[in-house]
Amino acid sequence: MTDQKTTANGKVSSQDAETAEHLEAGKWRRAAPQIIASTVKNLLLMDLGMTIAFSTIVIPVLLDGKDSKGLVFTEENASWFGSIIYACQPTGSVLSGLVLESLGRKYAMMAVNVPHILGWFLLYSAGSHLALYMAAMIMGLGVGFMEAPIITYIGEICEPRLRGTLTSYSNLFVNFGMTSVFVLGTLVDWRHAALICMMLPVLTILALTQVPETPLWLMAQGREEDARKSLQWLRGWVSPQAVQNEVTELKRYAEEAKKKKKIRGYDNPAIVLDENPSNQTSPVKTEKVPETVEVEKPSWMKKMARDAKDFFRPAVLKPFFFIIVFFFISNWTGISSTRPYLIKLIEEFKFPIEPYRASVIFGSIGFCASVMCMATIAWFRKRPIALISVFMCAFSGIGLAFTPSTALSGWACFILFVLLFFFSMYGASGIVWTVMSEIFPYRGRSQASGMAAASSYLITFSATKSFLALKHSLGLHNLFGVYGGISAFGFVFLYFMLPETEGKSLEEIENSYKKKKESQTESSS
């Protein structure tokens, strides 16, 4: 048994706590619960993938007038149904950021399944355009609401060595959900596909009951024992002694947060404790805060003002504006905007494969791209993956614009579209969400994550809703030339602006976005 030594403030000595920790939880055992919790959380993202891909199998049937209940779409109806979900997501994202701190990450993720269950049932039973639009709006709110809790959950439970891999692992589930819908589109009609999809949010609620809340949120609510149990579960089902250092630092931060007017966001101990590859772990760093007068609990108006002040700090605003531009680049590669019309797009490009089978191929390519991203992100790192992917999106888009109309043009367009789909899923679309889960400081993270996700969906809405109008104005090939030009701009922008975050602690990432004056003020305090 480890001989534990306790300091005056009740902290178990770093050496003894680490010894107990490493004796009880090896590398794989320590990773297993984090992988399990991430997988359960990712069921929400699988539902997200199903939701955003579902219009792909509905629109061609209704445009051709082949629905079993006689529903028919015009192109205007199709453009609204394919994009309205993105218009509603920002409202859900903002609401998510507002209630996340009171509900907690776990219960917020459970609650978001309710609108999805309702939405899937409405799609199955829809007898009018209004019912279809209502279903899309409800599910859009649900998708938006899920963003902040899933982003903060993964950031607060994972260690640096796993954070990048497990975040890219999330993208795999989005693409798996999309591929599942494309497969269902080849097997059953879209109404029965909706009924099958409705089973997933029910399963997700049950699975979420088996994983813990984040220890950081629990300690912030004064629930020390629950935070300890959560850490024990997340660190490999270890003893209380093995997580004593993390518990002590969490408690210290929570106490300071209650009585200080100004503190810096806490850097999750999970992010810092495992930084040293030699296993000689450095103690967790918390900011030394000068003593100030204790203040009473603020009113909701003061809390909103404080949250707004947190959001407008340079450490939040700088990464926020960067992420917005990154989202614009990733959503205008030509994949997000064309997804609802994929079947019709395949027909117009004259791909030499049956359209519904081709959609399954593209979905599978996206899934494989996510697997490859997850497998290579620790080796290649995020910045090279993003740059290569955006460059290839530019190459593919411009190539589609200049492909001549010949007997082989169908195959040439197919190959170029495969490249565009693969690299968009591999790095252009996937890395931006990974970076967003790391780039915001704890203080302001909920608001910034919610608003960034909301902005992403507004950008996607604009890209999706404008696709048919732009196609008629510019022509399909020329429109992909525009997408290629945007990707070329994105390559230049990311080359100069994208930081490398792989393997860095949240504290190091946060400091890179601070003004020198702000950093010096905090370091001297």
Q: Which pLDDT band holds residue 341 (cuts at 50, 70, 90)?
A: very high
Q: Which pLDDT band holds residue 158 (cuts at 50, 70, 90)?
A: confident
The SS3 assignment for 77 reads helix
Structure token pair of residue 442: 């704890």
Q: Does pLDDT of 275 surpass 70? A: no
- Which residues, 6+ apart, have CB-to-CB distance to 178 below 8 Å? 49, 50, 52, 53, 363, 366, 367
What pLDDT does residue 69 have? Answer: 87
Structure token pair of residue 317: 């605003």
Q: Does pLDDT of 455 surpass 90? A: no
What pLDDT does residue 398 have? Answer: 95
Q: Which of 47-51, 354-358, 449-453 has the lowest mean pLDDT?
A: 449-453
* Residue 287, CA distances (Å) to 252, 253, 284, 519, 523 in order: 10, 9, 10, 12, 8
Reported as a single tens digit per residue, the pLDDT across 76-97 is: 999 999 999 999 988 887 787 7
Q: How confident is the prediction for the chain on average, in pLDDT?
A: 81
Q: Does pLDDT of 291 surpass 80? A: no
Contact between 80 and 465 under an 8 Å Cβ cutoff? The reply is yes
Q: Give domain limits for the chain.
A: 28-212+309-511
What's domain 28-212+309-511's superfamily in CATH?
Answer: MFS general substrate transporter like domains (1.20.1250.20)
What pLDDT does residue 82 have? Answer: 92
Angle separating helix axes 355-380 and 27-63, nearest 10 degrees: 150
Q: Does pLDDT of 396 surpass 90? A: yes
Helices (H) and strands (E) in the chain, counts: 25, 0
Mean pLDDT of 190-198: 96
The SS3 assignment for 73 reads coil
Mean pLDDT of 321-349: 92
Most confident of 9-18, 67-76, 116-125, 292-301: 116-125
Q: Which pLDDT band holds residue 300 (cuts at 50, 70, 90)?
A: low
What pLDDT does residue 233 have? Answer: 92
What pLDDT does residue 246 have? Answer: 78
Mean pLDDT of 403-425: 86
Mean pLDDT of 243-271: 58
Q: Which of 149-158, 233-242, 505-514 has the lowest mean pLDDT?
A: 505-514
Q: Which pLDDT band holds residue 463 (cuts at 50, 70, 90)?
A: very high
Q: Which pLDDT band holds residue 362 (cuts at 50, 70, 90)?
A: very high
